[in-house]
Chains A and B, each alone.
Chain A
Amino acid sequence: MSGRARVRARGITRSLGAVDVGRAPASPSATSVEPGDQEASSSSGLVEANIIPQWDKDSVCSGDSGQSHMERSMRMRRDLMDLEISTREKLAHVKDCKTGSSGIPVKLVTNLFNLDFPQDWQLYQYCVTFSPDLASRRLRTALLYNHSELSNRTKAFDGATLFLLQKLDKKVTELSSETQRGETVKITVTLIKELVSSSPVCIQFINIIFRKILKKLSMYQIGRNFYKPSEPVEIPQHKLSLWPGFAISVSPFESRLLFSADVSYKVLRNETVLEFMTDLCFKTGTSCFTQMCEKQLVGLVVLTRYNNRTYRIDDIDWTVKPTFSFQKRDGAEITYVDYYKQQYDITLSDLNQPMLVSLLKRKRNDNSEPQVVHLIPELCFLTGLSGQATSDFQLMKAVAEETRLSPLDRQQRLARLADDIQRNQVARFELENWGLHFGSQMSLTGRIVPPEKILMQDHVCQPASAADWAKDIRTCKVLSAQSLDKWLIFCANRAEYVIESFLSCLRRVGSSMGFNVGYPQIIKVQENPGAFIRAIQQQVNPEVQLVMCILPSNQKNYYDSIKKYLSSDCAVPSQCVLTRTLSKQGMMMSVATKIAMQMNCKLGGELWAVEIPLKSLMVVGIDISKDAFNKDMAVIGFVASVNPRITRWFSRCILQRTTTGIADCLKVFMTGALNKWQKTNHDLPARIVVYRDGVGDGQLRTVMEYEVPQLLSSVTKPSANTSSRLSVVVVRKKCMPRFFTEMSRTVQNPPLGTVVDSEATRPEWYDFYLVSQTASRGTVSPTYYNVIYDDNGLKPDHMQRLTYKLCHLYYNWQGLVSIPAPCLYAHKLTFLVSQSIHKEPSLELANNLFYL
């Protein structure tokens, strides 16, 4: 089964599972599609659930009167929160310099724009109090602005906090005004802080200014991004409408603040919840309809047409109908039907529909009961792409065609945005007022690290392209392989015809790669999941080396039930293939090669290696995702190399009840992996490098304070006098910067192995970007690495090159992958568990890559 087929078979891509769990679940934002990332091996990079808390829904000048800017600053943007954790200062070897040296320098264009400040630019934050206190923000503003001390200054006031570009003469300024009623109001303006441009409050303030500017460019703000409804891309055959737009932010980079912009698309769906429910009712029948409906709908974010709000569905109330009445805020009773007619001139067509229930987020930190709202399914639109949609190949192709931008297209859109900002008078005026200047697009110098050689059993191969070396190693023998003697094939009666030719192909490619494939026992079964499972239960015993299932369709339950049984109840490696995949005669050789390699890995074989100069190095990958059924459960995958060559792996996975997305069980994992290492190598590894994926915005501190100590405590054993040295690297596939190379007046994706470790990085971190994937269409996105803990003291150059080497070792793809192999293995493992198995896989399988 190819990667994509598998994803489809499971029904749900990681779109929702990959949401950073630390983020607010109910946010007013729909799913957005980030265009352009074509990933070599995981077919799920397309959809990103864009769930971001809206800390700054209102600009400085339009907040609620009661809520001061100070209060709101507490809810700081989560990525800014991370910036407060300075990890670099503790790492002595990179304190002065964190840049590498090897490789060929390359000039890169970025999606970052310079923001120019005057040298002594400062923002002055004042607290304004009124005596007697005034409730109306408008009145407060009017009174304050009337004073001559303030009238000619650049200012922003939200009712409580005042920002000025120039300092007032005195620290505390007392003013007095008279209202229309003749009341005298004393105003006290007290200086709280002088803010330099790099302070978090200031960064947020500048972000707000840019939000205001983008609104002025007639863009529509959804969540934190801005979209242009005037230029929609419509895909009517899928009831979808895509809005092009931008994700923008101002954030501090290595030496200064930069404005970054990336193209983003918003997906709107022309399907109401009621339509969804009626269809579901037909599909499921009435018996289990209510449960099914709740399972499908709870947790989704819906958009209401009449007031432009988004709500998260928390429950469905089947007892309330639109004809029931409720109490309005003023106490009057009214039926839902009448209410919508009166308020919005909307007539409901179905009076039997149940009500969706949504708990409103509490605005302030009071302890009052959360407010509950009832929503009419007919008036709620589904947002984002459903699981069914994301697994619909045609649909995703249609979406991808629209959203996958070439580097040139992307660059042109960025240039247009920059141009719009610079040309628009209001925008320019606003920026000039605050002493800002929107500068040019930034370019920087990266390095292309040298390519790696692929080591096969008796052959060292220098691939023509690191993106795909399938051709280069076609005739080479793999590093090691167990011969496969006792194995079973289960197939549906109708699919028997494909087996003969497939088997001969498999044996042929197997023998050329040194993998001896014997004749299997073929078992024919009826075409339904139950029959497959029954046959497997009867036939499979522990002596069986491998089970292959040739599945008639990509229905999720075939795959899930088989994997569930063979991964935990009866631990035997299994391989699922679709009949359709095997019936394409022209593709047979390449399909057979891929399957042979996967089977070899599942039996514990090794395919290839790269040169690892460090002796006795263990690499570890950790990933976390949410269980598809039970959102309170986090699935934590841990994959560690167990030989110095980094070709054999120890994989474990645990389900943990958590809401935070922080792993509790790392000590167990790490100790297990070290025991395993000691068993095979009779020593402990000298160095351990941990790559941690799945860290959301704002979680860096927890990882630093909670996960790193767990790892540390397990590598330093008081009994042993030696201890392994540990490094922890946080891996992020989504990052704001993009890089392009400029070539003969057009821009292209940067070459493989491009490393950026200056200017687009952060001063307080030991971090770098690495491009380790290709995109035949679309724009490549670099992977961001942040070394948060480092005992090994590897030179930055070595750290970068080690990371690059590890991107070569993913055995499911004969080419480079976007993240280090242990991370991708861990991801693959958590994906299998969270989508299909839902419990811990058997420990007997831990030494095999059974989840490939």
Chain B
Amino acid sequence: MEVEENNVLYNSVLDDNFKEVCPEKVIKFKPPLYKQRYQFVKDLVDRHEPKKVADMGCGDTKLLRLLKVYPCIQLLVGVDINEEKLQSNGHYLSPYLGEFVKPRDLDLTVTLYHGSVVERDSRLLGFDLITCIELIEHLDSDDLARFPEVVFGYLSPGMIVISTPNLEFNPLFPTMTLRDADHKFEWSRMEFQTVYTTTYPSLQQERVLKFVLVGELLVQVEHLRLRQQRMLREEEGARGPQPQAPPLLLGAVFTEAEQARIESSPKPFCEGDKFCIPLRRLLAYPKLHRLRLDEDRMRRLIADSVCLSRDGSAVVVDLHSSWDRWPEEN
């Protein structure tokens, strides 16, 4: 178990980072303290790639919002006693529009529970990382006593991050420790209640996979088709005197391994005015390669969306379409 007390960590940061604004005696941190704490958690996630992460006392769900971008996380849970906050901030965790268009690789479910962190709830068992950022100072002494037992004894996650304002440092602040108006409210204990839950579209879902696959495939096919066309036109043009166009600057750059993979796959070919691109060729391109599909599965998924050659080994498109040449011919 890895328990880090990050106050220590920040003490060292504070020494050279804080500025004192004399008249009000307010100390500002740069970057702000909360950002430093979040960054600490983010770095941890980056390093250890946990699958299941829970944030106790998630409040306005800010940390969860930062964590949901990590591809490794598949279950993200927030727990807070303030239901209203969860209610009003839950929708920030819903998938973005773009995440429907370019979905994650792995499933992700985000759930917010209304409940007390000192209750034992089996739904929080087996987590890889539990964070309690600025939480324990909100607990009264009874709860504080129960807290270690619940968190370390019962939940016992793979990792836990606990942070709390530094007491030695506190007297420098013009205000008392409890700066949040919420702190004085009392909450009755109860079982966890799901306030909000959402699942993200991911490539693990067949429907989503199909959508992405066909989309990427069509983009790649169009790209290859246009390249082929240009090559043919340049061959034609090469007979007459024509200035050589400078090489294109745009487009994905392949690594050597990717390049080798593409080179070793069957080449696209023309049959009359039809242009055929073998599925295996398409699968060699990085954006399709990363979907980790075999040829059969791919064929099954794309069959009703694109035109395949008779033996089903290649995608067939018209080499020329009426939209191709318009910009040049005016």
* Interface of A toward B, CB cutoff 8 Å: 11, 61-62, 138-139, 142-143, 179-181, 215, 220, 222, 229, 232, 234, 236-237, 239, 241, 268-271, 274-275, 277-288, 292, 303-308, 330, 344-345, 349-353, 381, 388, 528-529, 553-557
Known: A241-B101, A286-B248, A344-B69. 12 other contacts (CB 8 A): A179-B181, A236-B305, A237-B214, A279-B223, A283-B226, A283-B324, A303-B101, A305-B101, A305-B102, A350-B253, A381-B101, A529-B329
Of B98, B210, B246, B326, the contact of A236 (CB 8 Å cutoff): B210
Is the pair B326, A557 in contact by a Cβ cutoff of 8 Å? Answer: yes
In the bound complex, residues from chain B placing their C-beta under 8 Å from that of A306 are: 69, 96, 98
Determine whether B167 belongs to the interface, using a CB cutoff of 8 Å to chain A. Answer: no
Is the pair B176, A349 in contact by a Cβ cutoff of 8 Å? Answer: no
In the bound complex, residues from chain A placing their C-beta under 8 Å from that of B229 are: 282
Q: Which of B87-95, B148-156, B261-269, B275-283 contacts A (4 or more CB under 8 A)?
A: B87-95
Shortest distance from the beta carbon of B238 to any chain A beta carbon, whole Å: 14
In the bound complex, residues from chain A placing their C-beta under 8 Å from that of B211 are: 234, 236, 241, 270
Interface string of B303-317 (1 = CB under 8 A from A): 001100000000000
Is the pair B96, A528 in contact by a Cβ cutoff of 8 Å? Answer: no
Shortest distance from the beta carbon of A771 to any chain B beta carbon, whole Å: 35
Instruction: Using CB atoms, name the residue of chain B closest to A554.
Output: B322
| A303 vs B305: C-alpha distance when bound (angstroms) | 25
Q: Considering only CB atoms and an 8 Å cut-off, how many residues of chain B contact the other chain?
A: 63
Is the pair A308, B98 in contact by a Cβ cutoff of 8 Å? Answer: yes
Of A281, A308, A528, the contact of B329 (CB 8 Å cutoff): A528
Chain B residues 177-218 with CB under 8 Å of chain A are: 178-179, 181-184, 201, 207, 210-216, 218
In the bound complex, residues from chain B placing their C-beta under 8 Å from that of A138 are: 181
When A and B form their complex, which 3 residue pairs have the shortest distance between CB atoms, in order from nearest? A305-B98, A236-B214, A282-B226
In the bound complex, residues from chain A placing their C-beta under 8 Å from that of B88 are: 61-62
Interface string of B229-242 (1 = CB under 8 A from A): 11000000000000
Is the pair B98, A220 in contact by a Cβ cutoff of 8 Å? Answer: no
In the bound complex, residues from chain B placing their C-beta under 8 Å from that of A304 are: 98
Is the pair B322, A181 in contact by a Cβ cutoff of 8 Å? Answer: no
Instruction: Using CB atoms, name the residue of chain B closest to A9.
Output: B322
In the bound complex, residues from chain A placing their C-beta under 8 Å from that of B212 are: 270
Is the pair B250, A353 in contact by a Cβ cutoff of 8 Å? Answer: yes
Say yes or no: A274-B214 contact (C-beta < 8 A), given A139-B181, A305-B96, A306-B98: no
Say yes or no: A286-B218 contact (C-beta < 8 A), given A241-B101, A350-B253: no
| A287 vs B237: C-alpha distance when bound (angstroms) | 15
In the bound complex, residues from chain B placing their C-beta under 8 Å from that of A236 are: 210-211, 213-215, 305
Can you give 10 A-B contacts (C-beta < 8 A)?
Answer: A61-B88, A139-B181, A180-B175, A237-B306, A269-B101, A308-B98, A345-B69, A349-B286, A529-B330, A555-B325
Of A142, A271, A284, the contact of B215 (CB 8 Å cutoff): A271
In the bound complex, residues from chain A placing their C-beta under 8 Å from that of B182 are: 142
Determine whether B222 belongs to the interface, using a CB cutoff of 8 Å to chain A. Answer: yes
Is the pair B215, A270 in contact by a Cβ cutoff of 8 Å? Answer: yes
In the bound complex, residues from chain A placing their C-beta under 8 Å from that of B94 are: 220
Is the pair B179, A288 in contact by a Cβ cutoff of 8 Å? Answer: no
Chain B residues 97-148 with CB under 8 Å of chain A are: 97-102
In the bound complex, residues from chain B placing their C-beta under 8 Å from that of A353 are: 250
| A209 vs B207: C-alpha distance when bound (angstroms) | 35
Shortest distance from the beta carbon of A504 to any chain B beta carbon, whole Å: 30
Shortest distance from the beta carbon of A190 to any chain B beta carbon, whole Å: 23
Shortest distance from the beta carbon of A581 to any chain B beta carbon, whole Å: 15
For B101, B201, B219, B326, the residue with the greatest tally of chain A CB atoms inside 10 Å of its CB is: B101
Shortest distance from the beta carbon of A13 to any chain B beta carbon, whole Å: 15
Determine whether B169 belongs to the interface, using a CB cutoff of 8 Å to chain A. Answer: no
In the bound complex, residues from chain B placing their C-beta under 8 Å from that of A345 are: 46, 69-71
